[in-house]
Amino acid sequence: MPRIIGLTGNIACGKSSVGQMLLELGAEHYIDADLLVHQLYQKEQPIAQQIAKMFGAEVIASDGSIDRKALGTIVFHNANALAELECIVHPAVREALLDELKRVSGIVIIDAIKLLEGNSGALCHSKWLVICSQEQEITRLMRRNQLNQDEAIMRVRVQPDISTKLKLVDEVITNSGSLAETRDQVIAAFDRFCRKFPV
């Protein structure tokens, strides 16, 4: 039976960096929920068909998959549209995670921006929140996703208030300083996790 750490946090806060540190510390498997979403958005997948039906032909890429940038342009400007999309995607991601978890053992990392909202957090033994300043999120998002400043600000501002998540998690990793400072926090949190959930 795997022991599961759920990593969450707002966009571009550094979840993947923390996940990599956990792998270096001995976690055996890393499941990226965003990659599962990519798979669900492929041509002829039921979720992709539902999204196309809801949001129209403009969200379909030339290869028949969901055009994530076009979809993002719609949902990041419209809270109701985002909520409708999440109602479609969250249950499907949870099912995909359950399928992945059947095939692994040891310590498993689930990296999911919507870990708490999508109810995937219930699968985890420990839930970790990665945080950083909004300014850092915007800078990282511009660099990572090739967005201009206005686009990055818009995407950051539609993220849920981090304060609502603090009481729902077991560990908070502040990723605003150096990598060494972040790693020290991860090492301490991982030690607590291993002591609480020994093999």
Q: Tokens 């993947």 sit at which residue?
A: 16
The domain of 155 spans 3-196
Task: Name the token pair of 149.
Answer: 């400043």
Per-residue b/e over 113-139, b at no fewer than 16 CB within 10 Å? bbbbbbebbebbbbbbbbbbeeebbbe
Number of domains in the chain: 1
- In the predicted model, what is the mean pLDDT of the chain? 93
Contact criterion met (CB below 8 Å) for 8 and 116: yes
pTM: 0.91
List all residues 6 or more positions away from 16 whose beta carbon is below 8 Å from its beta carbon.
Answer: 32, 111
- Nearest Cα to 92, choosing from 62, 70, 72, 66? 66
pLDDT of residue 47: 94
- SS3 of 46-82: the string is HHHHHHHHHHCHHHECCCCCECHHHHHHHHCCCHHHH
- What pLDDT digit, counting tens, does each position of 9-47 carry? 998 999 999 999 999 999 999 999 999 999 999 999 999
- What pLDDT digit, counting tens, does each position of 163-183 carry? 989 999 999 999 999 999 999
- What pLDDT digit, counting tens, does each position of 91-107 carry? 999 999 999 999 999 99
CATH number at residue 112: 3.40.50.300
Q: Looking at 2-11, 76-85, 166-175, 186-195, which range is the least confident one?
A: 76-85
SS3 12: coil
pLDDT tier at 130, thresholds 50, 70, 90: very high
Q: How far apart are CA 98 and CA 107, in angstroms?
A: 15
